[in-house]
Chains A and B, each alone.
Chain A
Amino acid sequence: MKRIFRFCMYFLALLWVIPLLWLIWTAIRPSQLATSLSFSVDFTLDNFIDAWQKAPFAQYYLNTFYIVFGILIVQLITATLAAYVFARLNFWGKKVIFILILVQLMIPIDVLIFPNYNVLRDLSLLNTKLGIMIPYFATAFGIFLLRQRFKSVPYELEEVAKLEGCGILETIWKVYVPLAKPTYIAFGLVSVSYHWSSFLWPLIVTDSAQNRPLTVGLSLFAQSFETGAQWAEVSAATFMVIFPLLLAFFIFQKEFISSFMQSGIK
């Protein structure tokens, strides 16, 4: 019984890794072999070079970096301030505001593509990188995650900081932020991988290569081919898009897993 279970699970793990191997296999073999499963030792990087030349992937990369880290930086600021308030201050209207922020957890921005498109149009932010980023600047998830961490900081530390001469912002910066470092890493990883992967929203907002992130660029690149003839190149392009994420994942595996774990504990 136990053995059957284990065998099945090893088999499942194998099944799970096949798509990635298949992708790499296709990407590094000459494109004319892409449609066959035959084994040969041909190895080539031509597909990567071709893909890189046929579409402005460098620009896409830059855009994605800009968008992902732009979102993250603003999120860190807005979430830190709000989390501190919710963790430590008692103010008029706290409960109501708290519930309002819960609404965002309940209704993800992703389902509001149509109304937010209209908002963006009214703000003249269509087809801009800022337009892709701005709806995500406030993050209920980040606020809750940080608030939870801030609450566990011993209150005396804040009092010491006050006595030793820190103002409120300095206290947050010198006491809360360094103590919540693991939470920031967790939030950062979740946010970056989420927005790196985000597709539908940037697809709707952008209509020029200048502002498109990798995901949108990749889908356009893939759709520009009718037949399977260019599979190898599409695979290469796909691999280029996921490579930084996979690399980051392999390097920071522990952090990734523990941060995704943390992200679940609300």
Chain B
Amino acid sequence: MKNGWRNSTFKVNFYSWLFLLPSLIFLTIFTFYPILKTIYQSFFQSMQGEHDSVFIGLDNYKYLMEDEVFWEVIKNNIWYALGTVPTSIILAMMMACFVNAKIRAKSWIRTFFFYPTVIPTIAIANIWLFIYTPGYGLINHILSWFGIGSVNFLGQSETVMAAMIVMIVWKQAGYFMIFYLAGLQNIPTNLYEVAKIEGTSAWNTFKTITFPLLMPTTLFVFIISLTNAFKLVDHIIVMTQGGPNNASNLLLYYIYQVAFRFWDKGLASALTVIMLMIMVIIAVIQFFSLDRKIHYS
């Protein structure tokens, strides 16, 4: 780099490290150290309050492999991801195409789609609790107009996951819409002009121009929504506590339970390590999808 006085290597290094120091300190204490520490602790058995921890090798992991709740949680989380990710993406894309077109009340519509993004999940959980509540909840009110009896959406294992998925899709679809709007604005308008001249139908235009050119956005949104599927658990605390029968328990919430309800340090660490592995897998997916991005942009 042609940098004048800063080429004097010592000065450059001095300032660089000095300026990076604050960030590095906090990153070390609250990201790197905890990661390493938690990996280490996952090989020990120790309960909160007990000072002695015993090295037990992979026993925590072995325990988890045989733990029904763990598998239930993993299964739930996969369903949760399968339910939220594609739905949010498709809805977001539709919303963006809609809002990007010439329509009435455009900015209001955009606002309606987006506002759930700025509401805390915990508040959303409160709102939807009232919507789902048996008997008096909004949905049950509406169902009663059609003569359908009260359904306890959050109280039965068959419906609780679906209820949560609907809520999360409601929360995040508008957020993803924003990325699609940005993506749409990057598509050169003359492509659409060509399509118009060629007489391509709306659906074909979407299929051949819009959708492929939005691919980078889709990949990006896919990664965020996948991460969200493992991060977003605030609502469980208010709505279901993971129940009934762990039917709505997710991995991060299970970590919370094991760590702060059962106070099992070793197991909580092992669970955290599994969570870290999932995050790494997502990062790897992102890394490889970035490669593909080049073809589209």
Residues of A within 8 A of B (CB): 1-2, 5-6, 9-10, 12-14, 16-20, 22-23, 26, 34-37, 77-79, 81-82, 84-85, 88-92, 94, 97, 100-101, 103-104, 106-119, 134-135, 137-140, 143, 159, 162, 168, 193, 196-200, 203-204, 214-215, 218-219, 222-223, 228, 231, 234-235, 238, 241-242, 245-246, 248-250, 253, 256-257, 260-261, 264-265
Q: In the assembled complex, how far is the CB of residue A134 from the closest CB belonging to chain B, in whole angstroms?
A: 7
Give the distance in Å from the alpha carbon of A89 to the alpha carbon of B14 in the complex.
11
User: Is B190 located at the chain interface by the 8 A CB criterion?
Assistant: no
A85 and B15 contact, CB distance less than 8 A: yes
Decide: B255 and A101 in contact? CB cutoff 8 A.
Answer: no
Cβ of B149 under 8 Å from chain A? no
Known contacts A10-B109, A106-B279: A113-B256 contact under CB 8 Å? yes
Cross-chain contact B22 with A112 (CB below 8 angstroms): no
Contact A113 B259 (CB under 8 A): yes
* CB < 8 Å neighbour of A138 from B22, B114, B272, B276: B22
Residue among B35, B41, B127, B174 with max Cβ neighbours from chain A (10 Å): B127
Tell me the bound Cα distance from A52 to B256 in angstroms: 30
The answer on a CB contact under 8 Å between A250 and B111 is: yes
| Contacts A/B (CB < 8 Å), 5 sampled | A22-B130, A90-B3, A91-B13, A109-B31, A112-B30
Query: How far apart sit A248 and B181, CA to CA, in the bound complex (Å)?
Result: 21
* B98-126 contact mask (Cβ, 8 Å, vs A): 1 or 0: 10000100011111111111111111111
Within 8 A of A (CB), among B13-52: 13, 15-17, 19-20, 22-27, 29-35, 37-38, 41
B6 at the interface (CB under 8 A from A): yes
Asked whether, in the complex, the Cβ of B103 is within 8 Å of the Cβ of A26, the reply is: no
In the assembled complex, how far is the CB of residue A234 from the closest CB belonging to chain B, in whole angstroms? 6
B153 interfacial contact with A, CB 8 Å: no
Chain A residues closer than 8 Å to B116, beta-carbon distance: 16, 19
**Bound: A236/B117 CA distance, A:** 20
With a cutoff of 8 Å between Cβ atoms, the chain A residues found around residue B103 in the complex are 6
Whether B133 pairs with A228 at a CB distance below 8 angstroms is yes
CB-defined interface of B209-241 with A at 8 Å, one 1/0 digit per residue? 000000000001000100100110110011000
Cβ-based interface call for B182 (8 A)? yes
Q: B55 at interface (Cβ–Cβ under 8 A)?
A: no
- Across chains A and B, the number of contacting residue pairs, with CB separation under 8 Å, is 273
Residue of B nearest to A264 (CB): B179
Q: Are A119 and B115 in contact (CB under 8 A)?
A: no
Q: In the bound complex, do residue B118 and residue A200 qualify as a contact, i.e. CB atoms below 8 Å apart?
A: no
Instruction: Say yes or no: B27 contacts A138, CB within 8 Å.
Output: yes
Q: Is there contact, CB below 8 Å, between B3 and A100?
A: no
Tell me, in angstroms, the Cα distance from A168 to B5 when the chains sit together.
11
- Taking the closest CB of chain A, its distance from the CB of B191, in whole angstroms, is 19
Name B124-170 residues within 8 Å CB distance of A.
124-131, 133, 135-136, 138, 141, 170
Instruction: For A111, give the chain B residue with the smallest CB separation.
Output: B275
Instruction: Name the residue of chain A whose CB is nearest to the CB of B116.
Output: A16
B6 — which chain A residues lie within 8 A by C-beta? 89
Q: Which residues of B contact A34 (CB under 8 A)?
A: 136
Min distance, Cβ B41 to any Cβ of chain A, angstroms: 8
| Least CB distance, B146 to chain A, in whole angstroms | 14
Chain A residues within 8 Å of B259, by CB = 113-114, 117
User: Which residue in B5, B127, B133, B178 is a CB contact (below 8 Å) of A260?
Assistant: B178
Contact B178 A261 (CB under 8 A): yes
Please judge, given known A-B contacts A16-B170, A199-B234, whether A6 and B15 are in contact too, CB under 8 Å.
no
Name A219's contact: one of B17, B94, B109, B237 (CB within 8 Å).
Answer: B237
Chain B residue contacts of A6, Cβ below 8 A: 98, 103
Other than A100-B24, A111-B230, give 18 A-B pairs with Cβ distance below 8 A. A16-B174, A23-B127, A89-B1, A89-B6, A101-B23, A106-B279, A107-B283, A111-B252, A114-B256, A118-B37, A198-B120, A199-B120, A199-B237, A215-B123, A241-B123, A245-B118, A253-B111, A260-B178
For A2, the closest partner residue in chain B by CB is B202
Chain A residues in 8 Å Cβ range of B276: 107, 111
Asked whether any CB of chain A lies closer than 8 Å to the CB of B73, the reply is no
Q: Is the CB of A92 within 8 A of B220?
A: no
Closest to B36 in A: A115
Q: Is B16 a contact partner of A238 (Cβ separation < 8 A)?
A: no
* Residue B65 is within 8 A (CB to CB) of chain A in the complex: no
- Residues of B close to A36: CB separation below 8 A: 136
